[in-house]
Structure 1
């Protein structure tokens, strides 16, 4: 079975017009016709028929079944070609959201440069939701993703590394800055500046608001963390961020939330189920696990 025939047929299902399909692939119309005929001969069934009375092309039930499977076949073929190309180049596409990247990458980069691995790793920036989509489509090899619940997907393997708390973030000059902790319900009159839907923060924020039984004042949402931090410093609004999003250099105050239960910011190492073995990938994964374990041990020591 010719993969090109499958591509032609899949486009025909969408266009329902031989001429449009031929034009899209820059081939002659008979090329598309013969491709469909070859598929029908191989499968022993009619895939399309022309309704002469209405002058339209009809896709048969057999054709629709084939089309559904072609989608998966072409998707896996694209992923296979991508993975093979990466093997040739010895590169690894690694998804890293900004917040998690700020926490992990300074530690990772030192080791990667020291062991001449940095040139083999291509960092892909984006929110956790966006990177999750890239993983499912095989566009990246693995990623560190944030979520508010464990990631379960038949096409992916996920390993929970650490959990972090969400915090209220304010300017040092804000009246709340002196507080050691705060209940979420106390914030019903506060304006919020938040990360947008590319991140998992809005999901956690919505859960907190529902538990506190009020509709928060969200005055601005953006995907740029630095912009939000600047707005918080200028007291335009207060923030709701995972604790690892804020560093001492930001000159901002983080306040723990007292509500119970409350969502946590889960950091997971996620990769495709069928990804090919790679020495570089194995080294990177082992390093990430080591840093995560050290962070947990450090936190436990601080608690004791």
Structure 2
């Protein structure tokens, strides 16, 4: 059975949409449809129900999906273990991280790691916390920077940092004179926010739902410099990690009252093989002095 078709099938089942799955896989939609037709011909069973608006996996497809995930996971584990036999000097690490941590926390640490282990190749995947957790569980990532305040039973993690989520407002904004700000006050304002699925958006979205108070979102972007520019220009206020505003004289970081802490750790799938290179990165990130 063709492993590539199995991988396509599991991705399609996970996303539930041919167009989005093809985009994620980096192939054309007709190529994905053809691969699924050939897979159905190969097994002699109908695996996918296709309608105009959505697709679903058939009962036979669910059986294949269960085994396909096991086969692909075993192949992934075999590849990682074989890579690990080469030692830390050679290896590949698939690392997931949010955009803000990728820009403001990781660069210095990764630079130091790459200098110490120049033969290790790191492939970085940027996504929201929920997506990163799913990718770890499905074996698409070796490691990811994840929240540790909501542990998952299938994910092991080690703590790295604890940041504060703060409100980001222009220096001349009426709220800037306050020592802190509430979720109610922030949600009264026009907003520039990260997309749904990111922890920087989550607190406001949860408050909006519980208070039945719609958010006035003027702009959504995961581009941090653009977000800061929009806040400076008065398009709306935002939320961010306190670390990114340390050198911004024209932007104010207002802590929330009560505070919104964000503990971050490095996580991987429990009971799955961790390569020597991945272990080295975990240990390196936890080392206080990384000279």
TM-score normalized with structure 2 length: 0.69
Aligned length: 250
Contact map agreement 1:194 1:221 (CA 8 A) in 2: yes
For the residue of structure 2 that corresponds to 1:227, the secondary structure is: helix
Contact map agreement 2:91 2:119 (CA 8 A) in 1: no
Q: What is the distance in 1 between the residues matched to 2:221 and 2:101? A: 17
| 1:21–1:247 distance in 2 versus 1, CA, 3 Å | closer
Aligned residue for 1:79?
76
Structure number with the higher helix fraction is: 1
For the residue of structure 1 that corresponds to 2:257, the secondary structure is: coil
| Structure 1 residue 206, shift from structure 2 partner | 2.2
Q: Please say which of residues 67-76 and 174-183 is displaced more in the overlay.
A: 67-76
For the residue of structure 1 that corresponds to 2:287, the secondary structure is: helix
- What does the per-residue CA deviation read over 1:237-273, in whole Å, with 9 as the maximum and x for residues that have no partner? 00122323434147411011123xx543231211122
Aligned residue for 1:159?
158
Q: What is the distance in 2 between the residues matched to 1:81 and 1:290? A: 29
Aligned residue for 2:128?
127
| Structure 1 residue 130, shift from structure 2 partner | 2.8
Contact map agreement 2:76 2:139 (CA 8 A) in 1: yes
Aligned residue for 1:117?
118
Unaligned runs of 5+ in 1: 15-19, 37-46, 49-59, 295-304
Contact map agreement 2:187 2:204 (CA 8 A) in 1: no
Aligned residue for 2:198?
199
Q: What is the distance in 2 between the residues matched to 1:195 and 1:139? A: 23
Contact map agreement 1:157 1:272 (CA 8 A) in 2: yes
Aligned residue for 1:173?
172
Aligned residue for 1:40?
none
Q: What is the distance in 2 between the residues matched to 1:290 and 1:281? A: 14
Instruction: Please list, as runs of the form range in 1=range in 2, the aligned pairs for 1:1-80 lying within 5 A after superposition.
Output: 24=38, 32=42, 66-67=63-64, 69-80=66-77
| Structure 1 residue 211, shift from structure 2 partner | 6.5
Contact map agreement 2:77 2:273 (CA 8 A) in 1: no
Instruction: Please list, as runs of the form range in 1=range in 2, the aligned pairs for 1:101-250 lying within 5 A after superposition.
Output: 101-117=102-118, 119-146=120-147, 149-154=149-154, 156-209=155-208, 214-249=213-248
Q: What is the distance in 2 between the residues matched to 1:123 and 1:163? A: 22
Q: What is the distance in 2 between the residues matched to 1:231 and 1:180? A: 23
Match of 1:276 among 273, 277, 285: 273
RMSD over aligned Cα atoms: 3.8
| 1:213–1:112 distance in 2 versus 1, CA, 3 Å | same
| 1:4–1:182 distance in 2 versus 1, CA, 3 Å | closer
| Structure 1 residue 283, shift from structure 2 partner | 2.2
Contact map agreement 1:97 1:127 (CA 8 A) in 2: yes
Q: What is the distance in 2 between the residues matched to 1:213 and 1:164? A: 28
TM-score normalized with structure 1 length: 0.67
Aligned residue for 1:285?
282
- What does the per-residue CA deviation read over 1:110-156, in whole Å, with 9 as the maximum and x for residues that have no partner? 42243133743233333323322322222221011247x423142x2
